[in-house]
Structures are given as C-alpha cells and as structure tokens.
Amino acid sequence: MNDLAIELKGVGKRYPYFALDNIHLEVPHGQIMGLIGPNGAGKSTTIRILMGLLQQERGEVRVLGHRMPSEQIAAKWDIGFASEDMRLYEGMTIEWHMNFIRSIYPKWDAAYAQLLLKRFGLRAAQKIKGLSHGQRVKATLLLVLARRPRLLVLDEPTTGLDPVARHEILRELTAVMSDEGRSVLFSSHNTQDVEQISDRITFIDRGRIISSMDKEAYLDRWRRLRLEVPLGIALPALPGIIGIRQNGRLAVATANVFAADMASAYESTGVRVQAIETMTLEEIFVANVERSREEVEA
C-alpha cells in the first residue's frame, strides 16, 4: 500500500450541463484536505465518485489502496462518510442508530460515542424527527466518528451550522489528527474553516481542479502590493504578478508567486511600494477562481 489515503488520476464524468474534467487529487495519510469550491463546482460529484457512489467514465480512483468503485465493499469498513443527503430513520432515536451502527462495525468505540453525545449536547433518547438541522448533522457525525474509521470523507459538514456547533465539529476533526494514521477529506465553501484546520487545500471550479497545494504554500505565495505610480511611469510587468488594478496614481498588484525582490524591482522603476499585505484564504480563493475563468474564456 502506498502512502496516499485518496488518489484520483485523470477522473472524468459528463452530464448534459456539467462535466468533471481530468481530476487529479491526492490526500496523504495523516493529513486533513480541504476541498473548496463555489456551489455547483463539482465537490459533491468528486466525493461521490471517490466513495464509489457514482462511476467515473475515465480515470482511476484508489481509496485506502482499494480501487473504486469495484472494491468499495472492502474499502468502506475503514471509511466514515457523511453528507447532507444522508438519511437517518425519522421515527427512531439516536440510541437506536448507535446500536444499529455498532452491530455492523466491530471497531465501534462506545466510550467515545458517549463522550461525543455529551460534547455535542445530544441526548440518546431523542427521536430524529424532533432534531434541529444542527443536531442532525452532529448526530450523523457522531455515528461516523465513533466507528473510528481511518479515513473520514465529509461533504460540507459545517454548512448551515451556528458558530458553536461549527466549532464543536472542527474540534472533533482536529482531534482525529492526534493519530497520524488517520486522514480527513472535507468540502466546504466556508474558507475560514478550511484555512484553520486543513494541511492541504484544493480549489475546484466548474468541474476542474484549479489548484492544489499545502496551505502554508498558499498563504506564503500570495500577496497584495499597494503601489504609488508617479505620473508618466508605466508599471512594469513582473513575473509572479497575476493582476493589477490601477486608479490614478494608486495601484494594487496581486502576486501568486511572491518573491522578496519584487519590492526592489518596482522601486527601481520609480514606483513606490506603500505596503505588502498577506491575503486570507478567501481572497486567494476568489482571485484564483477569477483568474482560472479568465483563462478558460480567453
């Protein structure tokens, strides 16, 4: 077995109005991967393919060393999957669901399940139909986490949750990482969640992966430079600068491969560098998507 928990190579699938195109994705063991994309970008389709719930038309998928979808039964013992459209039995209690999952998965950790009930503020005797959206999400996650799977695949686990519930879930996801043999892939359009807990980040838009790298690399490479351009001086084109917005003497340049000598390169042409600012993951994400769309349209 190699050191990747998830490996997608050249995966594609076509729909009448949407296509997943040549997806390459790697999640090493022991890491949290955040998958970020706007609505309709292909996050859920990618996740459903790697879970074996949809069959790809092209490309290879391996999860925990198993080929998907052909070996999905063997793979699923060690994968915990949760998504919005997962249904619990409305008329049954949380405890009934816990006993049900426990009867299927021998690795079920009853003590951890009790701890999670307490941490998530849930009562075992509650019926599903009386639960709020946040409580349902937490109950679903409890059922997945207490199995202690080696790989967690979570489709938008924090969407629609209040800040307290979001925080509770992020805490449990990072706690999983105290065991370096376990891995997490989760999708979100909340960039703050992803920025906080992910080791690697993948941006997806319109069915294509537009970028995938270490989180620290993203935050290191992207910068915003505030420039003052004296009259009669043209801004030089520097490598690594992907966008410039100028209004009168003030300009803002965005770098996706920032280098320390950029400031002196500008200054040598008479342009004054007022400030060099770091960017949040959200700003990087939006700039990345805009640039990728411009390239496709050009």
Partner 1 sequence: MSSGFVISQSDKRPIYLQIMEQIKQRVALGDWAEGQTIPSIRQLAVDLEVSVITVKRAYLELEREGVIVTQQGKGSHVAAIPGLGMRLQEQELEKHLEQAVRLADLLGIGPKDLEARLRETGDRRTAQEEEQV
Is 115 among the residues that bind partner 1 (CB under 8 A)?
A: no
Positions 68 through 97 that interact with partner 1 (CB under 8 A): none
Positions 201 through 220 that interact with partner 1 (CB under 8 A): 214-216, 219
Is 175 among the residues that bind partner 1 (CB under 8 A)?
A: yes
Of the candidates 177, 242, 252, 287, which one interacts with partner 1 according to CB under 8 A? 177
- How do strand 66-67 and strand 4-14 relate by DSSP bridges? unpaired
Tokens of 141: 């996650």
Q: Which is nearer to partner 1, 33 or 61 (CB)?
A: 33
Region from 78-86, 167-175, 225-233, 239-247 binding partner 1, contact rule CB under 8 A = 167-175
Positions 240 through 279 that interact with partner 1 (CB under 8 A): 278
Residues near 286 by Cβ (< 8 Å), separated by ≥ 6?
none
Of the candidates 198, 202, 288, 292, which one interacts with partner 1 according to CB under 8 A? 198
Of the candidates 27, 197, 209, 241, which one interacts with partner 1 according to CB under 8 A? 197
Give ∠ CA 292-297-298 in degrees, rounded to 5. Answer: 100
Region from 67-75, 130-138, 197-205, 250-258 binding partner 1, contact rule CB under 8 A = 197-205
Q: Which is nearer to partner 1, 29 or 208 (CB)?
A: 29
Residue 152 contacts residue 186 (beta carbons within 8 Å): yes
Of the candidates 4, 6, 27, 32, which one interacts with partner 1 according to CB under 8 A? 32
Is 178 among the residues that bind partner 1 (CB under 8 A)?
A: yes
Residue 195 contacts residue 221 (beta carbons within 8 Å): no
Of the candidates 31, 46, 158, 202, which one interacts with partner 1 according to CB under 8 A? 31
Give me the residue label for tokens 């320390």: 260
Residue 36 contacts residue 188 (beta carbons within 8 Å): yes
| Radius of gyration of the chain from its Cα atoms, rounded to whole angstroms | 22
Residues in contact with partner 1, counted by CB under 8 A, come to a total of 21
Cα–Cα distance for residue pair 2/195, rounded to 1 Å? 27
The least distance separating partner 1 from the CB of residue 162, rounded to whole angstroms, comes to: 16
Q: Which is nearer to partner 1, 71 or 283 (CB)?
A: 283
Nearest C-alpha neighbor of 152 from the set 42, 5, 48, 26: 5
Cα–Cα distance for residue pair 209/161, rounded to 1 Å? 27
Residue 135 contacts residue 122 (beta carbons within 8 Å): yes
| Strands lying side by side in the sheet with 250-255 | 241-247, 250-255, 223-228, 272-278
The least distance separating partner 1 from the CB of residue 125, rounded to whole angstroms, comes to: 30
**Residues forming the site for partner 1 (CB under 8 A):** 30-32, 170-171, 174-175, 177-178, 180, 192, 196-200, 214-216, 219, 278
